[in-house]
Chains A and B, each alone.
Chain A
Amino acid sequence: MRSVPKILLPLGVALVLLGAWHLGVRIMHSDLFPTPFDVARGIMELLREGLLLKYIVASLFRVTWGFGLAVLIGVPLGLVLGWYAHAYMAWNPVIQILRPISPIAWIPLAILWFGITDAAPVFLIFLASVFPITVASTAAVHNMQPVYVRAARNFGLGQFQLFRQVIFPACLPQILTGIRIALGIAWLVVVAAEMIAVNSGLGYLIIDARNAGKRYDLVVAGMVMIGLIGLALDLLVRQLEKFDEVRWGYAGTAR
């Protein structure tokens, strides 16, 4: 019984919003702004031409690699910075300076360094997601219960084992929250990252549709697809929270 409203409620809200959108366009008599039906037709057109799959794959590819590298570098870096007070002292200001710089500001440098290959958007997505992951990991170590470490010390664990067997698992729930936020950000910057002259991707779809004259239905189609895939990615990452290794961290705050 509980699962029925869980689906029906958000679906109802979506339908109401779509209806308001449609009515809004009708009332404004706008030639340029598309109705939901125009957008649906635009999506069907992309699907028929085989472009939709291509573009989704291209965007997912770039986010996968950019975000993947950010996790591989951000988590260890964050743990080290959280654990060694001196490293934190030395590096934290630099990270806090780099963190607020929008990936869009990096576009010129990305083109100069990587040309107009896939490496440029991957780099931009990496930049956007690595700092939230690092900061979340650092904060996770700072918030860790000191009793875990003291116990581990009593068992005579070495430095590396300490990281692998105590600090990392203890921080995992908080790190995953950071990763979830970072994934949202990585997907958010995909449009900006694909403004560089790569010739595929959902961001490119939006830029390309602007070039194509009066194709604002495709602009909105790109936006809709980015939104829907973002939702799917978030649901996917949330599945991680179901595992025992992580779930304990959310105990007490569980819904």
Chain B
Amino acid sequence: MTLRRTLVLFVILWVVAVTLLHCGLNLKMFDRKAAEKSTQSYRIGFLPVTCHLTCPVTDFINRQSADGGIFEPVRFASWPELKEAYLSGHTKATFILAPMAIALREQGVPIKIVYLGHRDGSAVVVHKDSNIHRMEDLRGKRIAVPNRYSNQRLLVFRALKQAGMTLKDVELVEMPPPDMPAALYSHAVDAITSGEPFMGQAELDGYGRVLWQAKDVWPNFISCVLAVSEDSIKNDRPWVQQLVNGIAQSGKWLDTSMDHRMEAAQFVSKNYYNQNPRLLTFVLSKPPDRVKYTKLEPLKPDFQEIEQLGKESGVLKGTAHFEDYVDPSFAQEASLLPAYAWEEKK
């Protein structure tokens, strides 16, 4: 055979085979059921951290009920990609760091915070063998934070302030949370802080020691919030309300009993986070108030404090205020709703 005939035949076969296989195996185009499922255009961005746990829990419980899911959760690996997918309109709503949402608002992005993702659920973890026992011991040390717009950075800032130190006394580095445990293990950094379960992982694997939990330094700490675009609020009000209701109800469901939390640890690890369930099991129970999912209405004093700390630490300009970046109207109805009545069939 000549080059041309062989090549043309081979290329056609290859392209067709690879494309068909991809459409079938990964895009599930030939699977009727899956096709119906993905017709919902409302995607919500989240990261596999406990700060966003209500997102998969709401989705899972909804899909078990007769009405089916109300959105399609899309998992990201890091903050910049999550933010960019939201900015491009690919995700209609997203779980996002509170200061990041405020900063986007300051830069003119029509984003509104409608609900909180969680309370507490962060920690500062140091190496087990290190001599760091108090905040003062971190002087001159390297601390990993998830992002410059993370509340964990403000958390460290606040703790430094309480100890009479400033950001100049430590070296902050930005690092995706999944990389933090390994960085601590190899002594690339002296302390790490991010949402769970990555702090719990360092503890669980035996090389991390909790210096302090977020709740000890900043009671009712908020790291992530649920944000939607102003467009959605204007055009899809019922959907946003339904979404906020779902997050509120699943949050209460999670805090109703330890059994619920353990069930969630199993089905979220397996179906959404793709992590070892022991991680979520650990951080959702040891101690039980490590992270909380009730009292999630956005309140002005909380955000004023975030604004203030953001300004002092230089990440926020202070040009956007509570009324600009929060729409508390959805939380009123949602906070009155009871927990989901759903129980896992044994």
A residues contacting B by CB (< 8 A) are 31-32, 53-54, 57-58, 60-61, 64-65, 68, 107-108, 111-113, 115-116, 118, 195-197, 199-200, 207-208, 210-216, 240, 243-246
Interface centre among A58, A68, A195, A212 (most CB of B within 10 A): A212
Q: Complex formed: what's the CA distance from A195 to B85 in Å?
A: 13
Binds A, one of B14-22, B58-66, B117-125: B14-22
Is A197 within 8 A of B87, CB to CB? no
Q: Complex formed: what's the CA distance from A60 to B25 in Å?
A: 13
Is A243 within 8 A of B3, CB to CB? yes
Judged by a CB distance under 8 angstroms, whether B74 is at the interface is yes
B residues in contact with A54, CB < 8 Å: 25-26
A residues in contact with B11, CB < 8 Å: 68
CB of A156, distance to nearest CB on chain B (Å) = 25
Is B274 within 8 A of A111, CB to CB? no
With A54-B25, A108-B84 given, is the CB distance from A210 to B3 under 8 Å?
no
Is B274 within 8 A of A208, CB to CB? yes
Tell me the number of A-to-B contacts counted with CB atoms below 8 Å.
109
Judged by a CB distance under 8 angstroms, whether B205 is at the interface is yes
CB of B345, distance to nearest CB on chain A (Å) = 24
With A112-B88, A113-B88, A213-B275 given, is the CB distance from A240 to B7 under 8 Å?
yes
Chain B residue with Cβ nearest A247: B3
Chain B residue with Cβ nearest A197: B76
Q: Complex formed: what's the CA distance from A54 to B3 in Å?
A: 31
Is B276 within 8 A of A112, CB to CB? no
Q: Complex formed: what's the CA distance from A199 to B22 in Å?
A: 12
Is B76 within 8 A of A60, CB to CB? no
Is B182 within 8 A of A32, CB to CB? yes
A residues in contact with B4, CB < 8 Å: 245
CB of B128, distance to nearest CB on chain A (Å) = 13
Judged by a CB distance under 8 angstroms, whether B273 is at the interface is yes
B residues in contact with A57, CB < 8 Å: 18, 21-22, 25-26
A residues in contact with B80, CB < 8 Å: 108
Is B3 within 8 A of A246, CB to CB? yes
With A116-B74, A196-B81, A199-B75 given, is the CB distance from A61 to B178 under 8 Å?
no
Checking B19, B45, B84 against A112 with a beta-carbon cut-off of 8 angstroms, the contacting residue is B84
B residues in contact with A200, CB < 8 Å: 26
Judged by a CB distance under 8 angstroms, whether B56 is at the interface is no
A–B complex contacts, Cβ < 8 Å, 16 sampled: A53-B25, A61-B21, A65-B15, A116-B85, A118-B27, A195-B78, A197-B74, A197-B76, A197-B77, A199-B26, A207-B77, A208-B77, A212-B276, A213-B201, A213-B279, A240-B3
Is B26 within 8 A of A111, CB to CB? no
B residues in contact with A243, CB < 8 Å: 2-3, 6
Is A107 within 8 A of B178, CB to CB? no
B residues in contact with A213, CB < 8 Å: 181, 197-198, 201, 275-276, 279
Is B19 within 8 A of A211, CB to CB? no
Judged by a CB distance under 8 angstroms, whether B48 is at the interface is yes
Is B3 within 8 A of A211, CB to CB? no
Is A64 within 8 A of B88, CB to CB? no
Chain B residue with Cβ nearest A114: B88
Q: Complex formed: what's the CA distance from A61 to B3 in Å?
A: 24
B residues in contact with A113, CB < 8 Å: 88
Checking A32, A107, A116, A212 against B275 with a beta-carbon cut-off of 8 angstroms, the contacting residue is A212
Is B179 within 8 A of A210, CB to CB? yes
Is B90 within 8 A of A116, CB to CB? yes
Judged by a CB distance under 8 angstroms, whether B185 is at the interface is yes
Checking A64, A111, A208 against B18 with a beta-carbon cut-off of 8 angstroms, the contacting residue is A64
Checking A58, A116, A240 against B22 with a beta-carbon cut-off of 8 angstroms, the contacting residue is A58
Interface centre among B48, B90, B207, B273 (most CB of A within 10 A): B90
Is B18 within 8 A of A195, CB to CB? no
Q: Complex formed: what's the CA distance from A215 to B27 in Å?
A: 26
Q: Complex formed: what's the CA distance from A240 to B80 in Å?
A: 42
Q: Which 6 A-B pairs have the closest CB atoms?
A: A115-B90, A61-B22, A243-B3, A111-B84, A210-B178, A200-B26
B residues in contact with A240, CB < 8 Å: 3, 7
Chain B residue with Cβ nearest A243: B3
A residues in contact with B7, CB < 8 Å: 240
Chain B residue with Cβ nearest A219: B182
Interface centre among B3, B179, B201 (most CB of A within 10 A): B3
B residues in contact with A118, CB < 8 Å: 22, 27
Is B274 within 8 A of A211, CB to CB? yes
Checking A53, A210, A216, A245 against B77 with a beta-carbon cut-off of 8 angstroms, the contacting residue is A210
Contact string, B1-40, partner A, CB cutoff 8 A, digits 1/0? 0111011000100110011011001110000000000000
CB of B184, distance to nearest CB on chain A (Å) = 11
Q: Complex formed: what's the CA distance from A200 to B198 in Å?
A: 23
Is A245 within 8 A of B88, CB to CB? no
Chain B residue with Cβ nearest A214: B205
Checking B2, B88, B205, B273 against A211 with a beta-carbon cut-off of 8 angstroms, the contacting residue is B273
With A54-B26, A210-B178, A213-B201 given, is the CB distance from A195 to B276 under 8 Å?
no
Q: Complex formed: what's the CA distance from A207 to B186 in Å?
A: 19
B residues in contact with A53, CB < 8 Å: 25
Chain A residue with Cβ nearest B75: A197
A residues in contact with B186, CB < 8 Å: 32
A residues in contact with B82, CB < 8 Å: 197
